Amino acid sequence: MAAYLVCDIKVTNPAQYEEYKKLAQAAVAHHGGRYLARGGETAVLEGSWQPNRVVVLEFPDLAKARAFYDSPEYKAARKARGGAAQMNMVAVAGA
């Protein structure tokens, strides 16, 4: 069953964040993930959440999503992101 990562990202250093994006994209592909949404326009339909940059990724299953997050490739991306963005991320199994 597919699993999804939903991220809300507040970018504070756009130039440094570009390096993170390159590394993260390679890590996502390496672990069988794909981008479904990547920083597009948002519209709040209910509630008070005011998202920043929203990214949604799909992985074959929750185990692969977790393996991506814990991988050396994504750890390098997270290190590159240090100080460039504030990240909120959740993983959810699909229905």
Note the pLDDT tens digit of each residue in 67-87. Answer: 999 999 999 999 999 999 999
pLDDT of residue 12: 97
Phi, psi of 61 (to 5 degrees): -165, 175
CB burial class (10 A; 0-12, 13-18, 19+) of residue 82?
A: exposed
Phi, psi of 52 (to 5 degrees): -95, -110
Looking at this protein, which amino acid is placed at residue 85? A
Q: Is the pLDDT of residue 95 over 90?
A: no
Band (pLDDT 50/70/90 cuts) for residue 25 is very high
The domain that holds 63 is classified in CATH as 3.30.70.100
Q: Is the pLDDT of residue 51 over 90?
A: yes
pLDDT of residue 81: 97
Number of domains comprising the chain: 1
Whole-number percent of the chain with pLDDT over 70: 100
Domain residue limits at 21: 3-93
Average pLDDT over residues 22-30: 97
Contact between residue 8 and residue 52 where contact means Cβ atoms under 8 Å apart = yes
